[in-house]
Amino acid sequence: MRLSLAVAAVAAYARFALAQSTQFCDSGAGNLCFQSFTDPVHGISFRMVFPTSTTATEFIGEIEAPTGVAWAGLALGGGMLNNPLLMAWPNNGALVTTARIAAGYVQPTAYTGLTLTTIAGSSHVNSTGWKWTFRCQNCTSWSGGSFDPNGTPVMAWAYGATPVFTPADPNSNFAQHDDFGFWGMVTSAAHDANYQSFLNGGGGTTTAPPTSTTTTTSATSTPTLPPAQATPYDYIIVGAGAGGIVAADKLSQAGKKVLLIERGGPSTAETGGNNIPPWAKGTNDTRFDVPGLFESMFTGNTFWWCKDTNFFAGCLTGGGTSVNAALYWLPTDDDFSTGNGWPSGWQQAGQYASIINGRMPSTDTPSPDGKLYLQESYNVVQQILKPLGYSELTINSNRNFKDHVYGHSAYNFVNGKRAGPVATYLRTSKARSNFKFLQYVYVQSVVRNGATITGVQTNDTTVGPNGFIPLTKNGRVILSAGSFGTPRILFTSGIGPTDMIQVAQKNPTVGSLVPAQSSWINLPVGFNVQDNPSINLIFQHPTVDAYDNWDSAVIWDNPRPADAAQYLKSNTGPFAGASPRLNFWQALGGPDGKTRWMQGTVRPGAGSVTTKYPYDSSKIFTITVYLSYGITSRGRIGIDAAMKGQALVNPWFQDPVDKTVLLDGLNQIINSAKQVSNLTLVTPDKDTALTDYVNNYDPSAMCSNHWIGSAKIGTSNTTSVVDSNTKVWGTNNLFVVDASIWPSLPMGNPHAAIMASAELAVAKILALSGGP
C-alpha cells in the first residue's frame, strides 16, 4: 500500500467547520467519560480520555466499529504522514492491534516509540461489530510532532473495507484506505479523575463482552459573545483563491462595497503567515513564499489543505495559488472557444491574458540572478523530444503554440518569491476603504428568499447576528469557493440535484439551513467534472541531480547549506524556483477522430518509485504526462453525510479513447528515450507492460487536482449551472466565479486561465442592470 497524497491534507488549525468531539461516558469502561467523535458515514467512533494532569503523556483510547469495517486507524497528529497511526482489526473473534508510522507515501511501518496495552475487559468482537479499548503511553509527542492534551488538536481517522493481507499478523500489509477524515478532539474536556482507578482494576481478564450504554452531553462551547451588528455589502465573495481575489479587486476598484471571505488563514508573510522553515528563522521567508519549498506542502502539519474533501484543495489566503507549483500558462484562444464549451461572448482570451500578464508577468528564469539551476533533467529530456519533432521556445511568448513545443517551466514568481493574486490583486484591494477581508470564516450557505439572495450564513457569530451577513439592496453574492467548495454551498442552499440536497438536509449541522423543498432549484451541480489524468514515468541518468528527491526532511529541516545560504542572502539559487524544470505539449489524434493535447512536466527527483530492480535514487527524474484540452471523459462530484466533498464518479478514462490516446503519447516518449545514451526507464520497469502500468495506476495518484466543471457555464439550465454572465440559473443575484464554471479543461495548468476568466466575468457582472 502507498498512503495517498490526500491523507496528508489536514488543517492543524481549524477555527470553523471542523466537527468536534463530544462527551461519551462508557459503562463498559468503568464509566470513564471520554471525548468521542463518530464518523456519520461509517459509524466508527474514536475516543480519548486522559488523567487529571493537563500535561499527561498518555491516554486511554477506544475505537468502536460496526460489522463490515475491516480495519480502522486513529492518526494522532491530524494526518497520516510522520504521525503515529493506531490500528485495529478483528480476526477470528479477537482483535489484532498495531502502531504504525509513514515517512512518505508508502506502506506504514511499525512504530516502537509508544506502548500500547489492550484493556481486555472493555474490548470485544461480537456479531454487531468490534471495540478496542487501549492504554497508550508516551503518546502525546514523538519525533517531529505532538498534540496538546489540554486543547483541541486535530485528529485523523482512516477506514478500510478490505481486510488486511494477513489478518493474524499485526505487521501485515494492507490496501490503501477506502475513506478518511478529520475532527477536533476536545482534549481539554477529556480529563477524568477516575482514570487511574479504572486502570488499577479495569484491565482484568473478563472475556464476555460488556454491555455498553452511552450518556452524551454537549461539548464545551465557546463563550457567548454580545450580538454582532450586521454590516451589509454590495458584493459578498466567498473564497480567496484565483477567482475570488481577482473578482474582489475588480469590484472594489469599481467603487462597490466588497466583502471577501476566506475559510482559512494567512499564507505568505504579506498576509500574516509565519510558517517559516528552521533554516530561515529570523526572516519572513515562509513556506508559501519560498518557491523551492513547494514539495514540502504535502507532509508535516499541513494546516493549509481543506479538511472536507478527499482531494487536495487549498484552504488559506490565495487558495490553490498559494500551495501549487505556480506553473503559469497564459490561456490560448482555443481555451475560451465555443468548441471548448464557452458561450458566445467569451472569446476574448487574448485581451484578458494580456491584462493578467501585465499585472503578474510570467518568468521562465525564476532566480533573480538570471541563472537556471538543476537543468540536467531539462538537458536529457531535450534529447527525447527533439527526435519527435519538438521545437524549443519561451512558451508564454506564443501562448497559442501548443503542439510539439517545449521550454523552460514558466512561473509567476517575482524576485525569487511566490507572487500570484495575493501579491497583486489582493494587495491593491486591501488598500481600499470599501474592501473588507475576513479570514477563518466558514460560509455554510447562501440565504435566499425564493430567487433572491439576501446574504450568506456563516458559523461565526462575531460577524453578524447568528453568523448572518446581509447584502445591500440589489447586492450580489459571488461563490469562488472552488470546484468542491462551491457545490457544497449550493447543495446546502437548496440548489443542485435532489440527491445531494437531501444529503445536506440530513446533516445535523447544516440541515436546518436547507430551504423547503418547494424552493429547491434543480441544476446539474457536480456533474460535467473534468481533471487531467496524469501518469508518472521515472527515469535514471548519470548526469541528473535528483535534489534529494525534494524530501521534506531535507528541504524543510536540513537543506544543502550553500543553497540555503544563497537564498537567504539574495533570494537566488535552486530555492528561487519550484521543482518543475521543463514543460511540453503535443496534439494527438484519436481513433474517434478527435484531437486531444498531451502536456508534460519534467522535474528532478521522484516521489514514489515502483521497481524490483536496483536504481540510484540520487540520479532519477520524473516526466509527468497529462491529457488536457480535448479530453472527453467526465465525472461527478458530490458530498457524503459528513458534507465532505468526494468524487461520485471519477473523471479519468471514463471514455476509453482518452486512455488509448494517452498510451500513444507515453509510448512515443518511452520509445524515443531508448535512443538516449545511458538513460534508463525505472518506472514502469522492464518487466511491466505500459498498458498494465496504466490500467493498474492508482486513481488517487492519477489525479492532477485541476478540477473544473462542477458549476458549468452554458446556455441552458438543463445542461449548465450558470448562464453566460456566470449567474446561477433560477436566481436573481447569485454568481459563480471560479474553476467550477469552466466547461472543459484548458491547454495548461489552469492558474492563469482562471484569473483571466475572473477578469472577464466581473466585466460581465458589472454590465448587468439592476445591481448595486
Any domain includes 680 = no
Residue 589: strand, helix, or coil: strand
pLDDT value, residue 200: 83
Any domain includes 374 = no
Strands 109-110, 94-101: pairing is antiparallel
**Helix 656-673 with 376-385: angle, nearest 10 deg:** 110
Would you place residue 434 in the very low, low, confident or very high pLDDT band (cuts 50, 70, 90)? very high
- Rounded mean pLDDT, 441-467: 92
Any domain includes 339 = no
Q: CA distances (Å), 642 to each of 481, 503, 696, in order?
A: 18, 9, 30
Any domain includes 87 = yes
Kind plus residue range of the DSSP H or E element containing 456 = strand 452-458
pLDDT value, residue 508: 87
Any domain includes 91 = yes
Among 135-149, 536-550, 609-623, the least confident range:
135-149
pLDDT value, residue 1: 36
**pLDDT exceeds 80 at position 699:** yes
- Pick 634 or 162 by higher pLDDT: 634
**pLDDT exceeds 60 at position 12:** no
pLDDT value, residue 444: 95
- Rounded mean pLDDT, 117-144: 92
Any domain includes 607 = no
374-399 pLDDT, tens per residue? 999 999 999 999 999 999 999 999 99
Q: Are 123 and 131 in contact (CB under 8 A)?
A: yes
Residues taking part in catalysis: 706
Mind giving me the DSSP string for 161-224?
A: SS--SSTT-TT---PPPSEEEEEE--GGG-B-TTHHHHHHHHT----SPPP----EEPPP-PPP
Task: Write a three-state SS string for 126-149.
Answer: ECCEEEEEEEEECCCEECCEECCC
State which residues form the domain around 83.
5-217
Cα–Cα distance measured from residue 602 to residue 536, given in angstroms and rounded to the nearest whole number:
10
- Rounded mean pLDDT, 695-714: 94
Cα–Cα distance measured from residue 649 to residue 356, given in angstroms and rounded to the nearest whole number:
34
- Rounded mean pLDDT, 185-197: 92
Any domain includes 414 = no
Kind plus residue range of the DSSP H or E element containing 584 = strand 582-589
Cα–Cα distance measured from residue 591 to residue 593, given in angstroms and rounded to the nearest whole number:
5
CATH number for the domain spanning 141: value is 2.60.40.1210
Any domain includes 708 = no
Q: The cell 527526435 sits on which residue?
A: 387
What is the total count of domains within the chain?
A: 1
Q: pTM for the whole thing?
A: 0.79
